[in-house]
Structure 1
């Protein structure tokens, strides 16, 4: 029994136009589904896209923002608010001090009543400062994230807040939900807000979405 010619001892068909196991030009390759014309379909390199994944089907996967960058952005925004808060507190304290100075010397007629009035005035001004800070926080975080997708802090570290389904800017509705959740959480001595900002560590979706992101349908990505 012969298994082939001496030059082809295994009996494989010898065709000068065909090698051993390597696809020739114009033939289907191995491992890639062929598109019309024999060209492998584009896309599919990197991260597989899911329906609704930012970037669209076959588009580049977004680079999820690290918690370190997010902390840096929040820290910068906190410094901005700290400066504004300090200015308002100092202005209120100076005003209250001037009111106390107008009460005259201790022991003078009406001094105690005047001091009490000055204390009440200072408390009311402190409440006004807190209210102004809430308004500034709303306008700053809500409008900047909704319209531009970023605050000053996020600009500094190269981050964007996007719609988790489309990759577009969140819009004012989603930005408001994203702002109100940690703001309400901050009422309990800031503990609720802290948990909200730490919640991306517990997210198992791979997007590192915090509770405020999940409620709003947003995510934070790098530029």
Structure 2
């Protein structure tokens, strides 16, 4: 696991370097194949028409295009599963989805389609000119198209340099909802729990746990210690168990004077019998009357723990009975809300009223208020689940809740 806990966006230079390393090989193969094939074109006249022999160009071009296609599929598959490519590995960067996990095939395909869109147009134009036999126009059409495709690809790859939100996303990243991180300078989210990270990556700076008085009363001593110089006291029926006061102390030898310095053997108490006509008392245990248990005087019940949320921008909020989180949260008509927590989001990835939190016991019920970009919960053990809009999910302390591009940790103090 990486020692660095921070996420660092990949710079435009590293992005461009990775793209060049990834596609330099296929570009060289295509260039050589097409160059050799074009040089092998011959022409001859037949029935007054000029006929071009393009067999070598078609053969070498088909082989080069086939190899490039296989290479592209393998590269996209590896990146979709791990966020890694040859160029990414050498430049120390990784691509990811909006949550910081492996990007998946959809994001990788859309990113590639946007980056190489003009190149695909140039390839289609080359095929059309080859089919129609307009070789005289090839230089005037294909040349500018290929130059334009390279310029467009470079511009898209480095477009994150103009992103006002910390140079985090390029044009293709915003369209595909993908991200690229510098794992040589920061944490690799793909291998360390996504953007939110494992719970150890972001400990919450919460107040220390408050000590409360124990509500459990200390049991009274059952066997009192005999004080030196005092006669041994033997409990009699009707004593503390029955509720009556203790009988007077019984001396060890009633007929002899008591010498405190001389040890006297204990005398067994005579068996007690109930007076005639009265039933013998039944021995009772203090726990038998469970309905009459009372809190010891002077001791207060333990107060419920304080729950706090800490947002990724450092904002720390104590959770009350209910609160709303969003860009500019507002309660619905007739809804009673105790707290409104506005969150700054220049990229507008979170909705105006994104989440509702309702305190209950030692956790909170979190509900996604039909947001645009959705929400997700990551438990302390790393299990992530997306929130279904309108359905409340119980979240315990130690969990992370992501909403749009932002997130907060739920802690207990």
Same fold per superposition (TM over 0.5): yes
Query: What residue in structure 1 maps to residue 193 of structure 2?
Result: none
Counterpart CA distance in 1 for 2:29 and 2:83 is 22
Query: What residue in structure 1 maps to residue 158 of structure 2?
Result: 198
Contact 2:12 2:159 in 1 (8 A): no
Higher helix share: 1
1:156 to 2:116 alignment: no
Q: 2:77 aligns with which of 143, 147, 163?
A: 143
Distance 1:137 1:197, change over 3 A: farther
1:60 to 2:15 alignment: no
Counterpart CA distance in 1 for 2:115 and 2:11 is 19
Distance 1:195 1:88, change over 3 A: same
Distance 1:180 1:72, change over 3 A: same
1:218 to 2:178 alignment: yes
Q: CA deviation at 1:170?
A: 0.2
Counterpart CA distance in 2 for 1:92 and 1:140 is 26
Query: What residue in structure 2 maps to residue 106 of structure 1?
Result: none
Normalised by the size of structure 2, how large is the TM-score?
0.32
Q: CA deviation at 1:91?
A: 6.2
- The two structures, once aligned, show a CA RMSD in angstroms of 3.2
Distance 1:179 1:124, change over 3 A: same
Q: 1:112 aligns with which of 23, 45, 48?
A: 45
- SS in structure 1 opposite 2:51? helix
Aligned length: 151
Cα shift readout 1:78-120 (whole Å, capped 9, x = no counterpart): 32223332453366458x46xx5xx9xxxxxxx53498341x3
Cα shift readout 1:163-220 (whole Å, capped 9, x = no counterpart): 122x110011111111111111333531432331231111111143111111111111
Cα shift readout 1:30-86 (whole Å, capped 9, x = no counterpart): xxxxxxxxxxxxxxxxxxxxxxxxxxxxx9331111222222212212322233324
- SS in structure 1 opposite 2:116? helix
Counterpart CA distance in 2 for 1:201 and 1:207 is 5
Higher strand share: 2
For structure 2, list consecutive stretches of 5 or more residues without a partner in the other structure. Answer: 122-144, 184-413
Query: What residue in structure 2 maps to residue 179 of structure 1?
Result: 112
* Bigger Rg over Cα: 2
Counterpart CA distance in 2 for 1:151 and 1:75 is 12
Counterpart CA distance in 2 for 1:92 and 1:147 is 37
Contact 2:116 2:153 in 1 (8 A): yes
Q: CA deviation at 1:129?
A: 6.0
For structure 1, list consecutive stretches of 5 or more residues without a partner in the other structure. Answer: 1-58, 104-110
Counterpart CA distance in 1 for 2:20 and 2:55 is 32
Counterpart CA distance in 2 for 1:198 and 1:185 is 16
